[in-house]
Chains A and B, each alone.
Chain A
Amino acid sequence: DGGITQSPKYLFRKEGQNVTLSCEQNLNHDAMYWYRQDPGQGLRLIYYSQIVNDFQKGDIAEGYSVSREKKESFPLTVTSAQKNPTAFYLCASSTNRQGSNQPQHFGDGTRLSIL
């Protein structure tokens, strides 16, 4: 079945450690996105990529990094510079390019906690 796979489902980070969250899609979508969701808050955009080898900062990019070397994959690294990383992280993809308005489809998230 086509879809978006995020792994791991749960992740724990130690102080000073970088961790990488995986996101893979087999929907042949051009665009991919990373969001952070905190309790009682909506989704906030971290980074997005509309094409391979290109990505843009969202609203809360500080302390995070991404790469887009393949169309299917958009990993997110939470660096030690992110002082409050505990949250639910969601990856999404869509067929969008500039000017289009198709819906985004989401994976089932990774919950990151601090040890």
Chain B
Amino acid sequence: EDQVTQSPEALRLQEGESSSLNCSYTVSGLRGLFWYRQDPGKGPEFLFTLYSAGEEKEKERLKATLTKKESFLHITAPKPEDSATYLCAVQAGETSGSRLTFGEGTQLTVNP
């Protein structure tokens, strides 16, 4: 069974204080790892897809990296508008089709 664990559950940062969120996964045959951002009362917004170990993707203050066991979402000099819940999900195996398995998310708060 595919498993995804995110840490920490919650993170408070001061504006400009860089940090990282972790997503550890146990799957059979990773086909893709996805990062989403979710604002309160809204659906998740797609950020990145990572396909293989060593891959990196960047978007503004966010950078996602992938190893064989985990992915990190690095946030550089965050701003209050980066406050949200960040979700990690994996797609794995040849028989599971297109379904995703999600972690429980990290709730990020950036104080001004």
Q: Give chain A's interface residues, CB within 8 Å of chain B.
A: 4, 6, 31, 33, 35, 40-45, 48, 50, 56, 58, 90, 92, 94, 96-109, 111
Q: How far is the CB of A6 from chain B (nearest CB, A)?
A: 8
- Count residues of B near A (Cβ-Cβ below 8 Å): 26
B102 x A48 contact (CB < 8 A): no
Complex CA distance for A97 and B98, rounded to whole angstroms: 6
B32 x A101 contact (CB < 8 A): yes
With A101-B31, A105-B46, A109-B43 as given contacts, are A50 and B87 in contact (CB-CB < 8 Å)? no
A43 to B, closest residue via Cβ: B102
Q: Which residues of A contact B44 (CB under 8 A)?
A: 43, 90, 106
Q: Which residues of A contact B9 (CB under 8 A)?
A: 40
B100 to A, closest residue via Cβ: A104
A99 to B, closest residue via Cβ: B94
B103 x A42 contact (CB < 8 A): yes
Option from A94, A96, A100, A106 in Cβ contact (under 8 Å) with B43:
A106
Q: Which residues of A contact B94 (CB under 8 A)?
A: 99
A90 x B49 contact (CB < 8 A): no
Complex CA distance for A65 and B9, rounded to whole angstroms: 32
Q: Which residues of A contact B34 (CB under 8 A)?
A: 103-104
Q: How far is the CB of A29 from chain B (nearest CB, A)?
A: 10
With A106-B43, A109-B42 as given contacts, are A42 and B104 in contact (CB-CB < 8 Å)? yes
Residues of chain B in range 61-111 having any CB-CB distance to chain A below 8 Å: 87, 89, 91, 94, 97-100, 102-105
Option from B41, B51, B87, B97 in Cβ contact (under 8 Å) with A96:
B97
> Knowing that A42-B4, A101-B91 are A-B contacts, what are 13 other residue pairs whose CB atoms are under 8 Å apart, sorted by A's residue number?
A40-B9, A42-B105, A43-B100, A44-B102, A48-B98, A50-B97, A90-B44, A98-B98, A103-B46, A105-B46, A107-B43, A108-B41, A109-B43
